């Protein structure tokens, strides 16, 4: 539980659809007569990319509340970390706030996909707010693990990035018993009451390698520590990282669609850069510097889990505007996961908002 024209979630989640020969975007197969036409640039689309089930659920919660109750629907913090998503929901009547004291008493408020501390839930109840929780179920799972460990008397060590909303929520589950570690070096600074009673957890949107490196340092310092390695990282984060890793060696340039505050999007850029490939985080197609494409015969285009699929389509179209392209889809995993809406918003066999059906990811 770490992208944004207004988000059309009916767009294809995997960008331009490849043909039977694995190509899309309108470029014919090469016949060797490159001197007779401009060189064809290859665009790799690693998949999965773009929206995950937790993001779709959170957006759908706000949309359904707006349909049922009308505006305003208040949302504490960005529902997901994507400027296009936020702007689209604002246009429909959502009001985003940083703290609950900005919400009128007894008003309708949604907690974002990144989760909140129990103290925030208690404040909402005290002020008589009609609160709807859009926390990603995988973030809620980490909260439950933190509570269980703290209740058992363990010190909980949270691997994460200070200031991220998900981290703030998890730290708030057991504030007297939870310690944040951001780096391997920070492991040496950790102080615990009992070295035999320690559990570690992770922010769900970190890179797999980052968590495994810090977890190894924790195990070396606390041999009896309990934890599950990188298993707290959500499937969508790890799948998108694996998809980029599968194509990065073929790419001259990697473009990651996502907002600057999207943790999982930033991890994708870091992964590509660590492989020695030029990589950029872009909000949308307008952010592409044409100079990036000059020496890029192969461009990989992906998107963080909070970025709308239509933005990938627009990036591919912008690359095509610079010359002929061959689009190649590279899928490393399927994502059949769907998360139930809160009970109050469920209707039997209800379609997605505005009659949209959810395409396969």
Q: 152-181 pLDDT, tens per residue? A: 999 999 999 999 999 999 999 999 999 999
Distance CA(310)–CA(63), nearest Å, equals 18
Q: Give the span between the Cα atoms of 87 and 93, in whole angstroms.
A: 10
164 labelled as ligand-binding? yes
Residue 35 has pLDDT above 70, yes or no: no
Tell me the two tokens of residue 102: 């900005």
Q: Is 262 annotated as a binding residue?
A: yes
Is 234 annotated among the ligand-binding residues?
yes
84 annotated to bind ligand: no
Domains and CATH numbers, the chain: 23-51+235-331 (3.40.1010.20), 53-136 (3.40.50.11270), 138-232 (3.40.1010.20)
Q: What is the dihedral of CA 337, 343, 346, 347, to 10 degrees?
A: 140
Phi-psi region of 325 (alpha: psi -120 to 50; beta: other; left: phi over 0): beta
List the catalytic residue out of 56, 60, 63, 166: 166
Does 357 count as an annotated binding residue? no
pLDDT attached to residue 51: 97
- Asked whether residue 199 is marked as a ligand-binding residue, the answer is no
Residue 18 pLDDT exceeds 80: no
On average, the pLDDT of the chain sits at 88
pLDDT at 353: 43
Q: What is the per-residue pLDDT across 257-276, written as a single tens digit (0 to 9) for each? A: 999 999 999 999 999 999 99
50 annotated ligand binder: no
pLDDT of residue 340: 96
- Which tens digits make up the pLDDT trace of 289-306? 999 999 999 999 999 999
263 labeled binding residue? yes
166 is known as an active-site residue: yes
| Buried b / exposed e along 336-355 (16+ C-beta atoms within 10 A) | ebeeebeeebeeeeeebbee
pLDDT at site 231: 84
pLDDT confidence tier of residue 37, bands split at 50, 70 and 90: very low
Minimum mean pLDDT range among 219-223, 241-245, 351-355: 351-355
Tens digits of per-residue pLDDT, 88-123? 999 999 999 999 999 999 999 999 999 999 999 999
- 264 known member of a binding site: yes
User: Mean pLDDT throughout 132-158?
Assistant: 97
Query: Over pLDDT 90: what percentage of the chain?
Result: 83
CA distance 246 to 179: 35
Confidence at residue 7, expressed as pLDDT on a 0 to 100 scale: 38
Contact 272, 245 (CB under 8 A): no
Are 269 and 280 within 8 A, CB to CB? yes
The predicted pLDDT at position 4 comes to 35
Binned at pLDDT 50, 70 and 90, residue 38 comes out as low
Among left, alpha and beta (phi > 0; psi -120 to 50; other), residue 359 is: beta
Query: In the predicted model, what is the mean pLDDT of residues 132-149?
Result: 97
Question: What band does 347 get if pLDDT is binned at 50, 70 and 90?
Answer: confident
């Amino acid at each position: 539980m770490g992208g944004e024209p207004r988000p059309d979630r009916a767009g294809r989640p995997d960008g331009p659809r490849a043909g039977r020969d694995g190509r899309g975007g309108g470029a014919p197969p090469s016949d060797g007569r490159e001197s007779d036409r401009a060189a064809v640039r290859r665009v790799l689309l690693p998949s999965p990319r773009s929206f995950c089930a937790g993001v779709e659920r959170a957006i759908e919660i706000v949309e359904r509340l707006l349909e049922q109750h009308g505006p305003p629907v208040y949302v504490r913090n960005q529902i997901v970390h994507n400027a296009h998503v936020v702007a689209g929901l604002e246009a429909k009547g959502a009001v985003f706030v940083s703290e609950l004291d900005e919400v009128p008493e007894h008003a309708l408020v949604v907690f974002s996909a990144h989760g909140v501390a129990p103290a925030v839930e208690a404040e909402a109840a005290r002020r008589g707010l009609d609160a709807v929780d859009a926390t990603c179920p995988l973030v809620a799972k980490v909260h439950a693990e933190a509570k269980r460990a703290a209740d058992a008397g363990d010190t909980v060590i949270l691997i994460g990035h200070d200031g991220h909303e998900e981290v703030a929520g998890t730290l708030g589950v057991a504030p007297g018993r939870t310690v944040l570690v951001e780096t391997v070096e920070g492991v040496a600074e950790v102080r615990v009451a009992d070295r035999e009673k320690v559990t570690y957890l992770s922010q769900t949107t970190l890179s797999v390698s980052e968590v495994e490196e810090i977890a190894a340092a924790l195990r070396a310092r606390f041999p009896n520590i309990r934890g599950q390695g990188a298993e707290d990282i959500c499937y969508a984060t790890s799948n998108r990282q694996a998809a980029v890793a599968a194509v990065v060696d073929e790419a001259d340039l990697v473009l990651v669609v996502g907002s600057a505050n999207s943790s999982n999007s930033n991890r994708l850029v870091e992964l590509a850069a660590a492989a020695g490939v030029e990589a950029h985080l872009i909000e949308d197609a307008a952010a592409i510097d044409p100079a990036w494409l000059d020496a890029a015969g192969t461009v990989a285009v992906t998107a963080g889990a909070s970025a709308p699929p239509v933005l990938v389509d627009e990036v591919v179209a912008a690359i095509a505007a610079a010359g002929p392209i061959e689009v190649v889809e590279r899928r490393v995993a399927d994502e059949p996961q769907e998360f139930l809406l809160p009970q109050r918003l469920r209707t039997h066999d209800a379609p997605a908002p505005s009659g949209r059906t959810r395409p396969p990811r």
